[in-house]
């Protein structure tokens, strides 16, 4: 049974994350504070810091300039007990593009550095990689709460009831055991539980948030590793996204993830996000540190 301290609507967690407190602003920079929702662990989810950085940056551009790319480095773990200090430097506003650099600090140290770009919409050439065929539909797949919600453990309860997105696995999940087949691919459907009324730029920030949950699983699945592997150490190092087309957060999105390479205790995950009708809305890449006990002897 779900912990009664969890919200009735888990998407409220996302709504809280996307609300920032403006501290100061001038022609060259903007300052905001971001807050971490109540949680059982002491570190801030990396997707949250990315999302709040993108929200802050979006507040510094005109609404018709749309987020099209972001690149960031995770430098230090975030402390969930104190606010995040978010500084946006207004690097450039050109005729078509605006570039922003964001630094997030806590305890006077940088925990994330992010650069992003916004563009006025324009006509031009258009094509996309098609969505894979034969993927099970989301309504035919179980929610995470039905897979681990009965486990009396804080991590399992958080996974089941304390995430703002409904995520459903096209392959068997690797929460408790390795996948039955070693493949460098992971596929999930995802959407918010309830509608979130935000601008297109803030929706992009929310998509960055959810993209950080599963991207490294393509690496783990390929090497027969589960999330409960003892003595493992996994951390996101960097994250990049390119935003192609509009989407709705409360409609199913297909996240197709693959790992082209792993080496030197690092692994690369790459992903494409599609609407249920096959529009490619974003491309994602993330490198993570993957330290497993059999290689640390």
φ/ψ (deg, to 5) at 252: -60, 135
Q: Is 236 a catalytic residue?
A: yes
Q: Is 28 a catalytic residue?
A: no
Distance CA 150, CA 166 (A): 17
Distance CA 71, CA 179 (A): 31
Q: Is 64 a catalytic residue?
A: no
User: In the Cβ-directed half-sphere of 220, how many Cα atoms lie within 13 Å?
Assistant: 27
Helix (H, G, I), strand (E, B) or coil at 182: coil
The conformation of residue 138, written as its DSSP 8-state character, comes to G
Distance CA 159, CA 120 (A): 38
- Per-position b or e across 47-80, b if 16+ CB within 10 A of its CB: bbbbbbbbbbbbbbbeeebbbbbbebebeeebeb
Residue of 30, 106, 117, 236 with catalytic role: 236
Residue of 60, 117, 157, 212 with catalytic role: 212
Instruction: Give catalytic residues, as residue numbers.
Output: 212, 236, 286
């Amino acid at each position: 049974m779900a912990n009664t301290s969890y919200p009735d609507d888990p998407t409220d967690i996302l709504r809280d994350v996307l609300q920032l407190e403006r501290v100061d602003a001038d022609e060259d920079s903007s300052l905001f504070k971001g807050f971490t929702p109540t949680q059982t662990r002491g570190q801030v989810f990396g997707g949250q810091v990315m999302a709040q950085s993108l929200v802050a940056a979006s507040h510094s551009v005109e609404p018709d300039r749309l987020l099209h790319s972001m690149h960031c480095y995770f430098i230090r773990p975030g402390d969930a007990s104190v606010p995040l200090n978010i500084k946006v430097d207004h690097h450039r506003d050109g005729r078509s593009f605006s570039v922003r650099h964001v630094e997030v600090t806590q305890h006077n140290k940088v925990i994330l550095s992010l650069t992003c770009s916004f563009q006025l919409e324009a006509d031009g050439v258009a094509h996309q990689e098609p969505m894979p065929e034969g993927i099970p539909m989301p309504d035919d797949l179980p929610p995470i709460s039905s897979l681990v919600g009965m486990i009396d453990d804080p991590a399992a309860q958080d996974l089941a009831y304390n995430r703002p997105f409904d995520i459903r696995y096209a392959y068997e999940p690797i929460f408790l055991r390795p996948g039955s087949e070693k493949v460098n691919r992971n596929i999930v459907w995802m959407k918010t539980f309830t509608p979130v009324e935000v601008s297109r730029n803030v929706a992009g920030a929310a998509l960055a948030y959810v993209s950080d949950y599963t991207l490294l699983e393509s690496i783990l699945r390929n090497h027969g590793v589960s999330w409960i592997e003892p003595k493992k150490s996994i951390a996101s190092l960097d994250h990049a996204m390119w935003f192609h087309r509009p989407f709705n957060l409360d409609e199913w999105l297909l996240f197709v993830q693959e790992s082209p390479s792993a080496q030197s205790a690092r692994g690369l995950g790459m992903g494409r996000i599609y609407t249920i009708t096959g529009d490619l809305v974003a491309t994602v890449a993330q490198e993570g540190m993957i330290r497993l006990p059999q290689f640390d002897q």
